[in-house]
Amino acid sequence: MARVVRALALFALGTLAFAMAAASGMDEPATLARNAAATALGLVAWAFAGATLSGQPFAPRLGWLPSRLPPGVFVGLVFGMLALSQLAEWLIAFAGYEQVGNLPEFRRVLGEARGPSLGAALVGVALLPGIAEELALRGFVQRGLHARFGAVVAVIVSSLLFALLHGEPVHAAGALLLGLYLGTIVALCGSIRPAMVCHVVNNAVATLGTAWALPWLGESAALLGAAIGPWALWRTALQARAAHAPLGGSTEPAAPPRPR
């Protein structure tokens, strides 16, 4: 009974946070940051509510487990995320949708961020959403679905929800591509930590590149990511195979590959 009460309280907190986010606009950087932070709080509260009802410890249920990835592979996955994010932007621009939806307004507001408002944007737009969305979508949703339906279904469904969370078709299309990448990482290594770092760094690079009007920041990182990202993903898959944990594996952290 106490567990149900805790879950309901967390669910109510999350719902209140979502209501606060819906009532806010994004007409200035501070408002945008508050809106994003409230949405992140709602996602975290809902994820913990679901994990509470499951009766499992939070860490294994939400995937907060050691990934045991070598540092070089970890860094390669981050740059792979940056490359994929830049590819999504190029594809949107090539299709002629760069000025469609809420992305132009989002960029305009972030472009005005300076000093404290830029710091607030980094926390509210980069850090908190990167943590919250991974906990909720790759941690709670994907890992829960994997236990019932397998890794492929889990990755696709969590990625579709990730896309829907971004609110409108153009933004959602890019988010779907990134969600599939992040979901694959979680499925391979059994941990949300690498995906969380990839997500936060990608958001931070996008925020700084927009605020400082430095488009080459993301483009330069993308070039490196295109070179080492596929290698890092391949190494992650090899580690999963060596640990006898094919795509999605178990909920336990993967063991490091055996020395050869």
Lowest mean pLDDT among 11-25, 63-77, 175-189, 243-257: 243-257
Report whether pLDDT(257) > 90. no
What residues contact 59, with CB distance under 8 A and at least 6 apart?
65
Instruction: Let me know if residue 4 belongs to a domain.
Output: no
pLDDT at site 242: 84
Decide if 188 is inside a domain. yes
19 found inside a domain:
no
Q: Is the dihedral of CA 14, 15, 19, 22 positive or negative?
A: positive
CB 150 within 8 A of CB 248: yes
For the stretch 34-79, pLDDT in tens is 999 999 999 999 999 999 999 999 999 999 999 989 999 999 999 9
Considering the domain boundaries, does residue 22 fall inside one?
A: no
Alpha helices in 112-214 (DSSP H): 116-121, 128-133, 143-149, 151-165, 169-189, 193-211
The verdict on residue 160 lying in a domain is yes
**DSSP-based three-state secondary structure for 45:** helix
244 neighbors 250 (Cβ within 8 angstroms): no
Asked whether residue 33 is domain-assigned, the answer is no
Between 132 and 213, where is the model more confident?
A: 132
Whether 83 is in a domain gets the answer yes
As for how many domains the chain has, the answer is 1
pTM, whole model, 2 decimals?
0.90
Pairwise CA distance, residues 83 & 13, whole Å: 36
For the stretch 190-205, pLDDT in tens is 999 999 999 999 999 9
With bands split at pLDDT 50, 70 and 90, how would you rate the model's confidence at 25?
low
Q: Which is nearest to 200 in space by CA: 108, 104, 126, 91?
A: 126
The pLDDT value given to residue 162: 97
State the residue for tokens 């996602």. 43
The answer to whether residues 142 and 158 touch, using CB atoms and an 8 Å cutoff, is yes
For residue 93, being part of any structural domain is answered with yes
User: For the segment 217-251, what is each residue's pLDDT rounded down to a tens digit?
Assistant: 888 888 999 999 999 999 999 988 887 544 444 44
Terminal C-alpha separation, the chain: 52
User: What angle, 0 to 180 degrees and rounded to 10, lies between the N-to-C axes of helices 215-242 and 169-189?
Assistant: 30
Residue 130 has φ and ψ, to the nearest 5°, of: -60, -40
Domain extent at residue 71: 60-242
Mean pLDDT, residues 71-88 = 96
Report how far residue 97's alpha carbon sits from residue 109's, in angstroms, rounded to the nearest whole number. 19
Q: Residue 51 corresponds to which amino acid? A: A
Residue 159 φ then ψ, to 5°: -70, -40
More confident site: 105 or 131 = 131
Mean of the per-residue pLDDT values of the chain:
89
pLDDT tens-digit readout, 141-158: 999 999 999 999 999 999
Residue 259 confidence (pLDDT): 43
